[in-house]
Amino acid sequence: MINKYFLAFFLATALVGCGGSGEDLSSSMDGSGDGSSGGSGGTTNQSAEGLWVGQITSQKEGAPISSIGIIRPTTGEYFFATNSDYSTLINGTGFIEGSKITSKDFVNPDSKLGAKSGTFEGSVVTSKTLLINEFSLGSNKVSGTFSFASLYNTGSNLNKLTGEYGSTVDSQIKYSFEFKNPSADKTNFIGTSSNLNCQYLGTLSLIDATKNIYRLTDLTIEKYDTRDNIQCNQSSTVNSALSGYAAFVEVGGKTSLLLLAINDVKNTTFSAVLNKK
């Protein structure tokens, strides 16, 4: 139950940053819009773009849960990961008008939130705070607080990615990833998770050299044990390649690599925090 509420919250949070003025997402996602199209009487829209870290609190569960995610400008797309090992993903789009953030849709393919739809409202201050006043998911209510991670503005460099990575200390999934020497604009990687019997192949590329964010594309997940009775991640097939984003984050006092991805039909996800070996 905690996981699903947490995911919901992330969705809500992401939504906060994704929208522009309710009708024109591109005009104010970066905080530069005049707010006129959103009916806010000329008030400049805030922006939820960036890397956000924080906690959510479930009315039912009580204990706060750590969360981390990425909100993109212009499109309003968001990716948030939760669970003790960040293995649960929330994905969706959202809207922002003035400092108010709202969302009406989210996707949680593994259903660990307990539902695949919900609503939320909150407020955001550009590059500072993201507050979720209330997220409704059935009879449960969730609130949360996120802070903007300044690490988002440290810039990106494919050479930073090169090397071997493993699972975070608390992860129950035994990941082992390797990022190869990059070309001019992208780097390929290969990974495995021994206890899930999965192999991961994909590509990371630059988006904006001034921001700590990378585009993740062509992520395929497949079995590395071909025996018929062995499945990868509870599924023997994946309908399509996954795509999403990656960024360096601070987790447990270490700089780690956050990977977030979902496929086009939104029935398969991947999210993890990896530490460099």
Query: Given pLDDT bands bounded at 50, 70 and 90, which one contains residue 117?
Result: low
Distance between CA atoms of 125 and 102, rounded to whole angstroms? 14
Distance between CA atoms of 30 and 103, rounded to whole angstroms? 18
pTM over 0.85: no
Mean pLDDT, rounded, for 60-81 = 84
CA dist 191 → 5, 51, 243 (Å): 29, 24, 16
Mean pLDDT, rounded, for 83-87 = 81
**What digits encode the pLDDT tens for the residues 22-54?**
333 333 344 444 333 344 445 789 999 999 998
Q: Which two tokens stand for residue 73?
A: 């400008």
What is the pLDDT at residue 158? 92
Query: Given pLDDT bands bounded at 50, 70 and 90, which one contains residue 243?
Result: very high
Could you give the percent of the chain with pLDDT greater than 90? 36
What is the pLDDT at residue 239? 59
Nearest to 18 by CA among 120, 156, 153: 120
What is the pLDDT at residue 27? 33
The more confident residue out of 211 and 39 is: 211
SS3 48: coil
Q: Which of 29-38, 155-164, 187-196 has the lowest mean pLDDT?
A: 29-38
Q: Which of 51-65, 66-80, 144-158 has the lowest mean pLDDT?
A: 51-65
Cross-strand partners of 237 = none
Nearest to 46 by CA among 32, 61, 64, 63: 32
What is the pLDDT at residue 176? 92
Stretch (H or E) spanning 10:
helix 2-18
**What digits encode the pLDDT tens for the residues 89-115?**
888 887 899 999 888 777 778 766 656
